[in-house]
């Protein structure tokens, strides 16, 4: 794609150019709080930042000193490197530690014959990781878990003091996403986990529909008999009423575990509760 085509592509966005320019200024000079810039879309990788920040905010409100954020499908590492930068800003804003963990096979997309993997668009062997180069880029700021996601998702455990609060899914395949979804069923998690699914929608070449790729993996997850036991559910997040409607919003999901012991613990600060008329006297 030529540079001219890229500029023309901006015309299809739902935002005027002046908004994009103002966002660029805010992102460059970091004016205002991290949350205000996040809600204005003026931070790097807003989709990742949303999940990371609000997972950390929830963890802090529930009394945790740390929270874990996972990226599934690291490949070249651009997303994980972006998370490292976002983590620094969010930790400073909230005063909570954010543990970053990236999962990847290391050898690109696995071999597959399952038609739900959309092999017409995602050829096996794509997105091979250069491990040495990535290690240099993250420089110990994030942990890497290398191996078949259907196995590592079962054996890996979050740090005892850092429950899982956000998972960013970029595994492309239906089979890989299905293998990763057991991460949501770990014991050490927040009551609600912010999730980003990179491939629940796409361009015309993807041919994404309800019964292939990530959408089919999510559908089967919600229909599995163990949902009745876990009392949990994975749903699109309806959290963008007061933000600009952009395409990445439809890729944000929320996992709720209704029988989590902290599920109904109030997240509002005392000052906010008082404003709601909840002040009590003894």
Q: Which residues pair with 164 in a beta bridge?
A: 68, 189
In this structure, is residue 65 part of a structural domain? yes
- Burial class of residue 141 (count of CB atoms within 10 Å of its CB; 0-12, 13-18, 19+): middle
25 lies in some domain: no
pTM confidence score: 0.92
For the cut 80, the answer to whether the pLDDT of residue 76 exceeds it is yes
Q: In which domain, by residue range, is 66 found?
A: 44-275
Is residue 145, in this structure, part of any structural domain at all?
A: yes
Give the model's confidence band at 276: pLDDT under 50 very low, under 70 low, under 90 confident, else very high.
Answer: low
Give the pLDDT of residue 280.
41
Average pLDDT over residues 4-21: 73
Report which of residues 270 and 31 the model is more confident about: 31
DSSP-assigned states of every residue in 192-217: EEEEEETTSS--TTT---TTSHHHHH
Burial class (CB in 10 A: 0-12, 13-18, 19+), 15: middle
pLDDT, average across residues 232-239: 97
Q: Does the structure show a pLDDT above 60 at 271? A: no
| Total number of domains constituting the chain | 1
Query: Under a CB-based contact definition with an 8 Å cutoff, are residues 247 and 282 in contact?
Result: no
Roughly what angle, to the nearest 10 degrees, separates helices 131-138 and 78-94?
20
**What are the DSSP calls for 223-274, one per residue?**
HSTHHHHHTEEEEE----TTS---GGGGGEEEEEETT-TTTT---S-HHHHH
In eight-state DSSP terms, residue 63 is: T
What is the reported pLDDT for 277? 55
pLDDT at 189: 98
CB 128 within 8 A of CB 187: no
Q: Is residue 101 part of a domain?
A: yes
Tokens of 169: 């899914």
Strand pairing partners for 126? Answer: none
**Does 1 fall in a domain?**
no
**Chain mean position to CA 77:** 15
pLDDT beyond 80 at 133: yes
Q: What is the DSSP code (8-state) at residue 109?
A: S
Which residue, among 112, 39, 30, 98, has the nearest Cα to 70 in the 3D structure?
A: 98
Instruction: Assess if residue 3 is contained within a domain.
Output: no
In this predicted structure, what is the pLDDT of residue 175? 98
In a domain, 19, yes or no: no
Residue 94 has pLDDT above 60, yes or no: yes
pLDDT over 90 at 245, yes or no: no
| Banded model confidence at residue 233, pLDDT cuts 50, 70, 90 | very high
Q: For the residues 130-146, what does the mean pLDDT come to?
A: 96
Indicate which CATH number applies to the domain containing 57: 3.40.50.150
Max intra-chain CA distance, the chain: 69
β-pair type (252-257, 189-197)? antiparallel
The pLDDT tens digits for 151-197 are 999 999 999 999 999 999 999 999 999 999 999 999 999 999 999 99
Which pLDDT value is given to residue 250? Answer: 95
| Residue 15 or residue 139, greater confidence | 139
Which pLDDT score is estimated for 31?
Answer: 87
- Quote the CA–CA distance of 66 and 91 in Å, as a whole number: 10
Asked if 34 contacts 90 with a C-beta cutoff of 8 angstroms, the reply is: yes
Could you tell me if residue 36 is inside a domain?
no
């Amino acid at each position: 794609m030529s540079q001219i085509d890229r500029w023309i592509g901006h015309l299809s966005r739902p935002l005027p150019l002046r908004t994009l320019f103002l966002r660029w200024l805010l992102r460059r000079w970091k004016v205002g709080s991290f949350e205000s810039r996040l809600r204005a879309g003026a931070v790097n990788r807003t989709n990742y930042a949303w999940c990371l920040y609000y997972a950390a905010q929830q963890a802090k409100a529930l009394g945790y000193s740390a929270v874990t954020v996972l990226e599934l499908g690291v490949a070249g590492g651009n997303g994980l490197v972006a998370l490292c930068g976002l983590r620094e800003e969010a930790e400073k804003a909230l005063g909570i530690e954010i543990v970053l963990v990236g999962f990847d096979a290391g050898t690109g997309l696995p071999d597959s014959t399952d038609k739900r993997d959309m092999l017409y668009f995602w050829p096996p062997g794509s997105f091979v990781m250069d491990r040495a180069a990535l290690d240099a880029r993250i420089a110990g700021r994030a942990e890497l878990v290398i191996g078949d996601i259907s196995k590592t998702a079962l054996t890996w455990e979050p740090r005892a003091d850092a429950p899982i609060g956000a998972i960013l899914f970029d595994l492309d395949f239906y089979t890989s996403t299905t293998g990763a979804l057991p991460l949501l069923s770990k014991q050490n998690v927040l009551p609600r986990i912010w999730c980003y699914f990179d491939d629940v929608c796409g361009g015309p070449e993807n041919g994404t529909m309800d019964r292939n790729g990530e959408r089919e993996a999510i559908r089967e997850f919600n229909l599995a008999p163990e949902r009745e036991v876990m009392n949990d559910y994975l749903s699109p997040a309806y959290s963008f009423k007061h933000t600009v409607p952009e395409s990445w919003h439809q890729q944000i999901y929320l996992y709720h575990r209704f029988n989590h012991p902290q599920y109904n613990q109030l997240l509002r600060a005392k000052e906010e509760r008082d404003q709601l008329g909840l002040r009590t006297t003894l």
